[in-house]
């Protein structure tokens, strides 16, 4: 980490930015770590280095009649590509308020992309494969990360200062997200522990039916 921080400082040159590492650990009410929780940070100050949303292209692939990843966090204005890694077609759609669209992906290695301009949760489905399910979480805030299997959302190279932490997960009751009190990110930071209330039955993306035909 030290190396990359050094490189970053060198690249930034004249910017007098001190970057800090921070992480949020998300657990449910039973104390079990929660995967696929989206952590977004709302800075309470003006960032020296504004996030250039729309510069990077993120990916929501289709492989083996499943979306991958299951949850994709993005900033407002981000372009997401939808590459089809299968030999068969997918008809990807969303009727979520944040973004309504339909993509027709004929076959292998065809990719189309969508720009997500509005914040909110975009639930994805496929009109051909009923089992396919995924979420794109479009955050209005510049810094987003997702928890891994260990429940940890890593947030590296943050500017020091005060942030409000927002957490969302597909199994929180519809349309809700959790906002934690503002925290201050300094030079050295302990991980922030967050407990979320989730529905007992978790949404998962099921594998396609056995011996079924695509």
Partner 1 sequence: MARFEGKASQAVLAFCMGGLIGQAANAAEFPAVDLELYSDLRLTTVAGEPTWFKDWLGKLRYGGDWQGGRQTKLRLSELSLIAKSDITWDLHAFVHAKFDPEQDKPADLVEAYLRYRPVPTSRWQYQLKAGLFFPHISREHTSVAWTSPYTITPSAINSWIGEEIRTLGLEAKATLKLDQQKLSFTGGAFGFNDPAGTLLAFRGWALGDYKVGAFSRLPLPPISSIGPDSDFLRFQPLWVNPVREVDNKVGYYGAVDWSHKVGFKAGAFFYDNRGDPEVIKHSQYGWDTKFWNFYTEVEAPMGIDLMAQYLTGNTKMGFFKYGGDFRAVDVDYASGFVMASRKFGKHRLSVRRDWFDTDDNSFVVEDNNNEVGTAWTVAFNAHLGNKDSIIAEMLHVNSTRPFRETVWYDAQQSQTLWQLSYRRRF
User: Under the rule (CB under 8 A), what is the footprint of partner 1?
Assistant: 89, 91, 93, 95, 100, 102, 104, 106, 125, 127, 174, 199, 201, 203, 209-213
* Structure tokens given for 210: 């056995």
| Minimum CB distance to partner 1 smaller for 113 or for 156 | 113
Q: What are phi and psi of 52, to 5 degrees?
A: -95, 75
129 binding partner (options Cu ion, partner 1, none; Cβ < 5 to 8 Å by kind): Cu ion
DSSP 206: P
Residues that bind Cu ion (CB under 5 A): 90, 126, 128-129, 132
Separation of alpha carbons 40 and 164, rounded Å: 8
Q: In the numeric block, which tokens belong to residue 10? A: 């060198």
Selection from partner 1, Cu ion, none that 27 binds (CB < 5 to 8 A by kind) is none
Cα–Cα dist 118/140, whole Å: 8
Name the binder of 73 from partner 1, Cu ion, none, CB < 5-8 A by kind: none
Residues contacting residue 42 through CB under 8 Å, at least 6 positions apart = 141, 163, 164, 165, 166
Q: Which residue shows structure tokens 């076959």? A: 107
Which entry of Cu ion, partner 1, none binds 44, CB below 5 to 8 A by partner kind? none
Q: Contact, 206 vs 125, CB < 8 A?
A: no
> Shortest gap between Cβ of 14 and partner 1 (angstroms)?
50
Residue number with the shortest CB distance to Cu ion?
Answer: 126
Nearest distance in Å: CB 118, partner 1:
17
Closest to Cu ion by CB, 128 or 164: 128
The entry of Cu ion, partner 1, none near residue 127 (CB within 5 to 8 angstroms by kind) is: partner 1
- Min dist CB 171 to partner 1, Å, is 9
> Smallest distance, Å, CB 209 to partner 1?
5
What three-state secondary structure class fits 103?
strand
- Nearest one of 142, 150, 103, 147 to 122, comparing CA atoms: 103
């Amino acid at each position: 980490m030290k190396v990359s921080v050094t490189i970053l400082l060198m690249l930034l040159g004249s910017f007098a930015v001190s970057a800090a590492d921070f992480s949020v650990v998300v657990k449910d009410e039973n104390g079990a770590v929660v995967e696929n929780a989206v952590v977004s940070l709302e800075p309470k100050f003006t960032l020296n280095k504004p996030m250039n949303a729309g510069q990077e292209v993120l990916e929501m692939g289709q492989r083996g009649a499943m979306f991958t990843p299951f949850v994709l966090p993005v900033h407002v204005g981000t372009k997401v590509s939808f590459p089809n890694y299968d030999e068969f077609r997918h008809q990807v759609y969303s009727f979520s308020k944040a973004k309504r669209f339909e993509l027709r992906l004929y076959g292998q290695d065809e990719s189309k992309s969508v720009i997500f301009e509005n914040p909110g949760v975009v639930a994805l489905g496929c009109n051909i494969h009923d089992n396919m399910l995924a979420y794109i979480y479009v955050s209005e805030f510049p810094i987003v990360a997702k928890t891994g299997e260990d429940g940890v959302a890593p947030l590296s190279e943050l500017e020091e200062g005060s942030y409000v932490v927002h957490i969302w997960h597909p199994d929180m009751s519809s349309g809700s997200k959790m906002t934690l009190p503002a925290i201050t990110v300094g030079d050295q930071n302990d991980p922030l522990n967050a407990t979320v209330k989730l529905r007992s039955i978790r949404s998962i993306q099921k594998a396609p039916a056995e011996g079924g035909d695509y």
